[in-house]
Amino acid sequence: MCGPTARPWRWGWSRGRGHKGPSCGVWAQLRLLEAGGGLRAPGDSVLLSCRGTGFAFGIHAIRWYRQRPGDRLEWVSLISSDSSLIKYEQSVQGRASVSRDNSRSESSLSLRALGPRDSARYFCAVRTGTGNPAEL
């Protein structure tokens, strides 16, 4: 089956493990390691990170999304391949900070002044050359 693979973060739990997933026509050796999340009190901060291997991480823009139970996927942030372009969704503007370290194939999203609306599963994603999104 051709399609995206995903590994989420959710307030209330945290994990760090790898995941391999296919892309159209080939099996990509895409390894994904996640860190961050966990239970937080209102007003706290959190740092989420994702790390990718098996593809040219440094040439792809990284997009961050979140999804609340029963809701649609919501775009949160974007950082270009060279970090020259950074954008945030209006509800996190001024509270979020996205960064990347291409030498480590890693991107991080920091959120401060957490509120109920921030309770969600968080995803980072890249768009691959196949035209299909690969979610990290």
In a domain, 17, yes or no: yes
Q: What CATH number is given to the structural domain containing 53?
A: 2.60.40.10
CB 118 within 8 A of CB 77: no
CB 98 within 8 A of CB 107: yes
Query: Has this prediction a pTM greater than 0.75?
Result: no
What does the mean pLDDT of the chain come to? 77
User: How many domains does the chain fold into?
Assistant: 1
Q: Residue 99 is part of which domain span?
A: 9-21+30-135
In a domain, 3, yes or no: no
In a domain, 55, yes or no: yes
In a domain, 2, yes or no: no
Tokens of 56: 């040219």
Tell me which DSSP letter residue 132 carries: S
In a domain, 115, yes or no: yes
CB 12 within 8 A of CB 39: yes
Residue type, 103: S
* Distance of alpha carbon 40 from alpha carbon 119, whole angstroms: 9
Task: Name the band, by pLDDT with cuts 50, 70 and 90, for residue 133.
Answer: low
In a domain, 81, yes or no: yes
Q: Is the pLDDT of residue 8 over 60?
A: no
pLDDT digits (tens, 9 = 90+) for 72-109: 999 999 999 999 999 999 999 999 999 999 999 999 99
Identify the pLDDT of residue 33: 63
Of the chain, the percentage scoring pLDDT greater than 90 comes to 53
Output the CA angle 127-96-41, nearest 5 degrees.
120
In a domain, 52, yes or no: yes
Identify the pLDDT of residue 34: 62
* Distance of alpha carbon 79 from alpha carbon 37, whole angstroms: 20
In a domain, 1, yes or no: no
Question: Partners of 65 in the beta sheet?
Answer: 75, 123
